[in-house]
Amino acid sequence: MNQRSYTSLGGIRQVTDFQAHLESLRLMIPCDSKLEVGEQSVFRQPMTLNDREIGNRFCIHPMEGWDGSADGQPTEHTRRRWRRFGLSGAKLIWGGEAVAVRHDGRANPNQLMINDQTRAGLANLRETLLEAHEQVCGTTSDLLLGLQLTHSGRYSCPNQKLRPEPRILYHHPFLDRRVNVDDSYPLLTDGEIRRIIEEFHRAARSAWELGFDFVDVKHCHGYLGHEFLSAHTRAGNYGGSFENRTRFLREVVEGIRSLAPQLQVGVRVSAFDTVPFHPDPAWSAPGKTGIGIPEQHHDLLPYRWGFAVNTENPEEHDLTETLQFLCLLRKLNISLVNISGGSPYYNPHVQRPALYPPSDGYQAPEDPLMGVARQMEVTRELKQSFPDLVFIGSGYTYLQEFLPFVAQAALREGWVDFIGLGRMALTYPELPLDVINGRPLRHKHICRTFSDCTTAPRNGLQSGCYPLDEYYKQSQFGKQLKEIKAADRRSKKLTKVS
Ligand SMILES: Cc1cc2nc3c(=O)[nH]c(=O)nc-3n(C[C@H](O)[C@H](O)[C@H](O)COP(=O)(O)O)c2cc1C
Ligand code: SF4
């Protein structure tokens, strides 16, 4: 056997059948049988946060497009994406996409940057989103719009596509070799870290001057902020104890409060994790990558290279420090928390559950619904412990036609405060308004988790929904991606290892 098959949700017609399917998998995913319409709808309930009303319970997650100019300006492709985010009608826009605070921290040579040269471009991007939103909703007064600030750390790739230039905080037993780093590779010094922190301050002040309502100090997906949280083995002021591993966050926030006191701050965090995965060659087939298996970690216990993982069994998560982290956020007066998990680089099945893997991934080691359930369950647990914080949930796209039914139940039962949409917003940005207005879903637009939006950038192309969005399908990149995927299938001539 060289593959596992999971029931494709596209083949399930009725919500009752989906509920039965969840039961057969023994998954604790709440799912309503009927959607409420009109004033009764939980999606329509506004929320007030620091005197600002947020008009409904949909949030658009940040999603990069790898389509900025070489100097970090938005292009027409970027504006199109932000326009579509505005047209979604979602009243919380979490950052649009990751924007680098400086060049060496760009995840790709086309990532947006925030600096003096890009101010006008970012202002225009914000306006584009607001105009589109006003067009469909009539007002932007109840829209909260943030900007996600990032330094890509270990995943920096600022100058040439596919040539990583990692900035790392500590040596990692598995991740170093994935970014071509050996034991002699230099770590970021405490002095360099302090300069990066100052760039976050400057960037946040610019975001405020440009009119953004909040900034996200990104702490997820293996990028720099997240790597601090797992820097157990790092010496000095920014590693070791929990206090030291969160110093970056505290110092960033302290500077923002003094330079832009009215700017709200949010944090997107990978709240749980597991060890890195890789494709198992023993489970590979010609043209098909192997099933994901965890890296061998048994001689590395207690495991000291992850955040929110069980140190004795790092395949499992442990939320002890996540709860401590949320306590810290509360102390720092940060109430907006966007929950994600893992990383698209080393355990994509955790971070964005999908039926089809990206080219650098592996076949799903579990039914992707388990990945959805895990993200929802962790968020529920955290919300229960911190009812005063505002939680945005992730990983809903895999639910496809049943997303609204699950989302409604999760909101109604208080598992989460906002339903975050990632990939679904690329294929079907109008979904929030269709649901809120009681209109039937447009099946042809529903994301089927083909992962091309991840495969494309992994191969140096801009990201977008190539299978379903004509804009990308018809583009020169659409043709290139087809060729890349065909070559990739040919190169995977792996045979089963006995
Ligand atoms: C193409 C693409 C780009 C992404 N870029 C970002 C990003 O810039 N910042 C971020 O925090 N998450 C990013 N993500 C992760 C999504 O925000 C989201 O967490 C993930 O897709 C899971 O949610 P979903 O199931 O609704 O897609 C990206 C995801 C995709 C598919
Ligand atoms: S390429 Fe399109 S269908 Fe595939 S996962 Fe991305 S958004 Fe969904």
pLDDT tens for the chain, residues 1 to 498: 456 789 999 999 999 999 999 999 999 999 999 999 989 899 999 999 999 999 999 999 999 999 999 999 999 999 999 999 999 999 999 989 999 999 999 999 999 999 999 999 999 999 999 999 999 999 999 999 999 999 999 999 999 998 999 999 999 999 999 999 999 999 999 999 999 999 999 999 999 999 999 999 999 999 999 999 999 999 999 999 999 999 999 999 999 999 999 999 999 999 999 999 999 988 777 677 899 999 999 999 999 999 999 999 999 999 999 999 999 999 999 999 999 999 999 999 999 999 999 988 999 999 999 999 999 999 999 999 999 999 999 999 999 999 999 999 999 999 999 999 999 999 999 999 999 999 999 999 999 999 999 999 999 899 999 999 999 988 888 889 988 888 877 776 543 332
Q: How many CA atoms lie within 13 A of 32 on its CB side?
A: 16
Measured CA to CA in angstroms, residue 297 lies from 136, 277, 304, 307, 312 at distances of 51, 11, 11, 15, 10
- d(CA 119, CA 171) in angstroms, rounded, equals 36
The position carrying tokens 């018809």 is 474
Q: Choose among 234, 260, 264, 259: nearest CA to 246.
A: 234
Comparing C-alpha atoms, which of 56, 96, 127, 75 is closest to residue 215? 96
Q: Per the structure block, which two tokens stand in for 174?
A: 């598995």
Please tell me the residue having the least CA distance from ligand 1 atom 31.
Answer: 423
Which ligand is nearest to the Cα of residue 220, counting in written order? 1
Report whether residue 213 contacts ligand 1, using a CB cutoff of 6 Å.
no
**Ligand 1 centre distance from Cα of residue 368 (Å):** 16
Choose the residue to mutate in 9, 59, 64 for probing ligand 1, maximizing ligand atoms within 8 Å of C-beta. 64
CB 14 within 8 A of CB 402: no
Question: What pLDDT does 284 receive?
Answer: 74
Ligand 1 centroid–CA 394 distance in Å is 9
| CA 444 – ligand 2 centroid, Å | 12
For residue 396, how far is its CA from the centre of ligand 2 (angstroms)?
13
Would you say the CB of residue 421 lies under 6 angstroms from ligand 1? yes
Measured from CB, residues less than 6 Å from any atom of ligand 2 are: 423, 426-427, 447-453, 465-468
Mutation test of ligand 2: which of 66, 372, 421, 447 has the most ligand atoms closer than 8 Å to its C-beta?
Answer: 447
Give the pLDDT of residue 492. 62
Ligand 2 centre to CA of 222 (Å) is 22
Q: Is the CB of 19 under 6 A from ligand 1?
A: no
pTM higher than the cut 0.85: yes
CA 63 to ligand 1 centroid distance, Å: 5
Q: Among the bound ligands, name the one nearest to the CA of residue 226.
A: 1
Please report, to the nearest 10 degrees, the dihedral formed by the alpha carbons of residues 250, 252, 258, 262 taken in order: -100
Q: Is the CB of 271 under 6 A from ligand 1?
A: no
Ligand 1 pocket, residue 63 CB under 6 Å? yes
How much is the pLDDT for 2? 55
